[in-house]
């Protein structure tokens, strides 16, 4: 009887092993992608892309959330993630240079626009010679604000200044505007300063005021902004089918509608 029991146990173990192996093979063969996102509203948008990817392309999307100083680029570079969605091209370029990585942009998502806001004027034509404009003082948002002023023809910048111009790169200021640099987090308060006509504020800080970038700004970045957010992957993975289908799922009407609601008009479609 004892040997018979051993045979029964052995057979059961073999069957269990076969079932587990079958599960492993199923998982290994699943059409899937692992994507890094930032916790919060951006992940909420990505959840809609996840649903679209499954329904339209049969793609299983696993979203991995990050917060604080932990960002998805290094796990993407090391192959722990297939792609990520959280940054714009200037950030990617700086991060690649700093870390010696070679991640690439494969698709646009949204512009979270920097824009000029005012409690004193409604249109740019109402701006007067000598008015004061408050802009962010950190290098990225300072450069971004100056590029926006250049786009609106309020100033002119040296040719080929790149994405990080400074006040030293201003070659013309025909309206003799006074441009003051303030910490980005303090710019919403500058709207109540009697001396400041326009403050250029990014989406992160304007949200706390209840203002809507599209409806309430005097002037704003558009979808052509170099600061459009992007989907990023490794260079050797950029043509993968799962990456391609995730891009299609993200760049869908369903995701655009979700972002409009989640960001209260603060996300401009970038594709």
pLDDT at 7: 43
Between 260 and 11, name the one with better pLDDT.
260
Percent of the chain with pLDDT over 90: 76
Q: What superfamily in CATH does domain 32-112+226-269 come from?
A: Periplasmic binding protein-like II (3.40.190.10)
pLDDT at 108: 97
User: What is the helix (H) or strand (E) element at residue 36, kind and residue range?
Assistant: strand 32-38
Please compute the mean of the pLDDT values over residues 51-74 and round it to a whole number.
95
Whether the pTM exceeds 0.75: the reply is yes
CATH architecture label of 115-220? 3-Layer(aba) Sandwich (3.40)
Specify the domain boundaries for CATH 3.40.190.10 within the chain.
Answer: 32-112+226-269, 115-220
Give residue-wise pLDDT tens across range 27-36.
456 899 999 9
pLDDT at 70: 86
> Cα dist. 125→103, 130, 211, 212 in Å?
42, 14, 21, 20
User: What is the helix (H) or strand (E) element at residue 116, kind and residue range?
Assistant: strand 115-117
Give residue-wise pLDDT tens across range 164-213.
899 999 999 999 999 999 999 999 999 999 999 999 999 888 877 888 89
Phi-psi region of 199 (alpha: psi -120 to 50; beta: other; left: phi over 0): beta
Between 214 and 14, name the one with better pLDDT.
214
Q: Which residue has the tokens 């000029």?
A: 116
Let me know: does 203 contact 213? Beta carbons within 8 Å. yes
Give residue-wise pLDDT tens across range 83-117.
999 999 989 998 999 999 999 999 999 999 999 99
What average pLDDT does the structure give for the chain?
89
CA–CA distance, 249 with 243 (Å, rounded to integer): 10
Let me know: does 41 contact 248? Beta carbons within 8 Å. no
pLDDT at 29: 60
């Amino acid at each position: 009887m004892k040997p018979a029991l051993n045979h029964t146990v052995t057979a059961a173990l073999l069957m269990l092993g076969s079932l587990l192996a079958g599960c492993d093979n199923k998982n290994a063969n699943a059409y899937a992608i692992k994507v890094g996102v930032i916790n919060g509203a951006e992940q909420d948008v990505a959840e809609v892309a996840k649903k679209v990817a499954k329904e339209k392309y049969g793609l299983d999307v696993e979203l991995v959330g990050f917060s604080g100083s932990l960002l998805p680029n290094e796990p993407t570079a090391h192959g722990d993630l297939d792609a990520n969605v959280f940054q714009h091209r200037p950030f990617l370029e700086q991060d690649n240079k700093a870390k010696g990585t070679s991640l690439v942009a494969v698709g646009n998502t949204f512009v979270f626009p920097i824009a000029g806001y005012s409690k004193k004027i409604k249109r740019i034509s109402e701006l007067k010679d000598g008015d004061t404009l408050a802009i962010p003082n950190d290098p990225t948002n300072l450069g971004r604000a100056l590029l926006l002023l250049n786009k609106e023809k309020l100033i002119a910048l040296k040719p080929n200044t790149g994405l990080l111009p400074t006040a030293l790169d201003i070659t013309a200021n025909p309206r003799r505007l006074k441009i003051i640099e303030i910490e980005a987090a303090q710019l919403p308060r500058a709207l109540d300063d009697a001396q400041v006509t326009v403050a250029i504020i990014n989406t992160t800080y304007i949200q706390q005021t209840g203002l809507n970038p599209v409806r309430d700004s005097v002037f704003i970045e558009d979808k052509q902004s170099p600061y459009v957010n992007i989907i990023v992957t490794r260079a050797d993975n950029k043509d993968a089918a799962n990456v391609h289908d995730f891009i299609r799922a993200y760049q869908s009407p369903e995701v655009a509608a979700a972002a409009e609601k989640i960001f209260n008009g603060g996300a401009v479609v970038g594709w």
